[in-house]
Amino acid sequence: METAEPQLADSVTDGIATLVISNPAKRNAMTAGMWRALPAVLDRLAADPAVRVLVLTGAGDTFCAGADIAALREPGDEQQGLAVRAEEALAAFPKPTLAAVRGYCVGGGSQLAAACDLRFAAEDARFGITPAKLGIVYPSSSTRRLTALVGPATAKYLLFSGELIDAERALRTGLVDETHPADGLGKRVAEFGRILASRSLLTQAAAKEYADGRRDRDAYWAERARGSGDTAEGVAAFLERRPPRFTYGL
């Protein structure tokens, strides 16, 4: 029987930070302690100049089965508040984020996946948002983020019914960006992570802000671009027909 303690484990290789949700006894459900710890972990990884990309995944063959339901027996709305703060911290991570989804991605797991910039899934992955099964009001910020990804009709389908959808439907509706055979997902995530890590973090950080709706920092990013060296390096590499070596860090 699994006895490992619930935890968030991270490692960094070749510019790619991998953050693993691990609670094997409960299909990687997020405990209150894990929700509480996530923003600090993200702050540390964001500040690490060796990190250029963040991959979020689950231990074993499950991404995350949501919040630990046992904690919902406790009075008050602390658990939901912790989840929202963790979700917002992930959405605000200043470097590209990619959720690698295997197995179940349900409830709070879908919250975390939706807060990433991109989502790659195994073909056998299953997605669901289940507050209607528990009589819980899904947070407004989470609902808006979900609706921006999949549109109002699919968001309502998921939230009204609490039903699970397969990876093919998730891909069709925009909830995920790519699907792959389960045994090939890790290779594709590593490959795409290396692609992201090789690109200009300056471009990525600015594009992330603009794509997420912030439009008041044109002057800020223009100044950063002038002092970064990334533009000169990118042009030189193109003309010299070599891979660029971008050095800009946040």
Task: Give the DSSP per-residue string, 66-95.
Answer: -B-GGGGGSSSSHHHHHHHHHHHHHHT-SS
Least confident of 21-35, 133-147, 154-168, 215-229: 215-229
142 in a structural domain:
yes
Mean pLDDT computed over 200-225: 90
250 in a structural domain:
no
Q: Is the pLDDT of residue 75 over 80?
A: no
98 in a structural domain:
yes
pLDDT digits (tens, 9 = 90+) for 138-162: 999 999 999 999 999 999 999 999 9
**Segments forming the whole domain that contains residue 45:** 7-196
Domains of the chain: total: 2
The answer on 129 and 216 residing in a single domain is no
Prediction pTM value: 0.93
16 in a structural domain:
yes
Name the token pair of 95. Answer: 């470097």
Q: Is the pLDDT of residue 18 over 60?
A: yes
119 in a structural domain:
yes
pLDDT digits (tens, 9 = 90+) for 90-101: 999 999 999 999
Output 198-201 pairs: Cβ under 8 A, ≥24 positions apart: 198/243, 198/244, 198/246, 199/246, 200/230, 200/234, 200/244, 200/246, 200/248, 201/52, 201/95, 201/230, 201/246, 201/248, 201/249, 201/250
The answer on 152 and 101 residing in a single domain is yes
The answer on 117 and 216 residing in a single domain is no
pLDDT digits (tens, 9 = 90+) for 236-245: 989 999 999 8
Please report the pLDDT score of residue 1 as a whole number: 38
Report which of 54, 64, 61, 89 is spatially closest to residue 189, judged by C-alpha positions.
54
pLDDT digits (tens, 9 = 90+) for 37-47: 999 999 999 99
